[in-house]
Amino acid sequence: MNNLRRKTLAGASAAALGAGLALTGVPAPALAAGPDTSYLVLAPQGATTDRAAARVAAADGTVVARYDQIGVLVVRSTNPAFTTQVAGAGVQSVASTAGLGTALDEGETVEVAAADATADPTREPLYGQQWDMDMIHLPQAHAVTTGRPDVVVGVLDSGISSTHPDLATQIAKDKSTSCVGGVTDTTEAAWNPTTSDHGTHVAGTIAAAVNGVGVTGIAPGVKVAAVKVVNDDGYIFPEAAVCGFLWAADHGMKLTNNSYYIDPWELNCRNDARQRPVWQAVQRAIRYSQSKGVLSVASAGNSNYDLAHKITDTGSPNNGTPEERENLTNACLDLPAEAPGVVTVAAVGPTGQKSYYSSYGQGVIDVTAPGGDTRFRTQGARSTSTDGILSTTFNTVTRTNGWGYKQGTSMSGPHATGVAALALSAHPGMTAGQLSSFLERTAVAQSCPAGVYNPVPLIPTGPNAYDATCSGGNRNGFYGAGLVDAYNAVR
């Protein structure tokens, strides 16, 4: 399947500053009236941002965040000619991020009754519905370790509910922040969820407490930090993601979970003048985090798209009217999933086979993990919510905590992140590269299904809507090195 499609699955900030960020003073008088627009301004690789900042001021821009570690400025300006006027010595590239916010693939949350979550105080009452945990041999792993509290996982997402009974003790509040707008705000309200429970669900899969309430996380002994990169409209802008990667790197995190993509076009093309500065900025941020020992784990996406054979994209951008882009090449990447050094995770359902929606690709997918498949039982005709992933939730309407099902590679990613956190707890001292390799070596190889694979021929979108073909041997396009295994990772 060569066409990239978007599918909805059933299943500015305050100025508290982190390391490496600084605010400028009063903006210069506007040269021309225009919309207040955000920009990424990049200094040449390895150079300071001083000359770039001077050019920003001269072009009637205001630096709102200064990332000297990677030579990137986040700028706002009402000057319609800012892009042209800021160009020159000291500036390698510049791009407006207006219109580059990508909608979070939220997915539907199917809540479970609160009474079911607290019925038995002697154990985790909802563990029996967490089919995903037995699949990755979590009980056996927990007999060895549940994780170490000095291992902190950054959840770059929509925030984490700090009042959730399964998460309240699990959050490293001193390392949590909002990065919305590209600047940090460490107040607790800023990094809590507002319009999305996606980050709360992800955090529960990684580290929900073993406390006789609700569910268990894969690594309940570790800590999670909320790094909020999703704004109240449900969008992730590149400057927020850059901020998130650097915040995690400079605050001692060893892992980040990234269940999103950067850019409303799922494929960010380095040969596209508008997208290239975004690619450069994100690459610099990820490289910097890797230099600080951070391993980033990212979801492959929910488009059933072969990331190894990019030809056309007919479903992007997801923040407006889709446009068709043809003759794409591997210069176009799904970010952050395809950035070098990032662990890319596909999804399987309860049968252990590729989830119908999961993107794939030989040489792109590193590992797979449970993400849910709510349609395989009916061949796509109807959804069965309990075949999704059960985790912690936050109802943004009633402002109440709970538990519920979601599905997607957004859910498989945190399974791999949780297993990596257990591995690092059991085998401390591994570098990011060593941990990535170890996660693959301890995964259980899964074979390619024969022929054209499509578990949902009765889905309303059509009998061939989710056709996919797997290639490769023990390491292949559907499953990478295989299904992550928590017990293998700790013994």
List residues with catalytic annotation: 157, 198, 410
Residue 420 host element (H or E): helix 409-426
Q: How far apart are CA 31 and CA 82, in angstroms?
A: 10
Q: How far apart are CA 437 and CA 415, in angstroms?
A: 16
DSSP 43-75: PPTT--SHHHHHHHHHTTEEEEEEETTTTEEEE
Strand, helix or coil for residue 186:
coil
Q: Could you count the other beta carbons within 10 Å of the beta carbon of residue 48?
A: 12
Strand, helix or coil for residue 103:
strand
What does R_g of the chain's alpha carbons equal in angstroms? 22
**Over 339-404, what HEC string results?**
CCCCEEEEEECCCCCECCCCCECCCCCCEEEECCCCCHHHCCCCCCHHHCEEEEEEECCCCEEEEE
Q: How far apart are CA 49 and CA 42, in angstroms?
A: 8
DSSP 256-283: EEE-S-SSSSSEEETTSTTTHHHHHHHH
Q: How far apart are CA 254 and CA 432, in angstroms?
A: 8
Q: How far apart are CA 346 and CA 115, in angstroms?
A: 33
Residue 409 host element (H or E): helix 409-426
Nearest to 171 by CA among 184, 323, 157, 47: 157
Tokens coding 23: 């605010």
Amino acid (one-letter) located at 100: L
Q: How far apart are CA 174 and CA 188, in angstroms?
A: 10
Determine how β-strand 255-258 pairs with β-strand 295-299.
parallel
Q: How far apart are CA 420 and CA 432, in angstroms?
A: 10
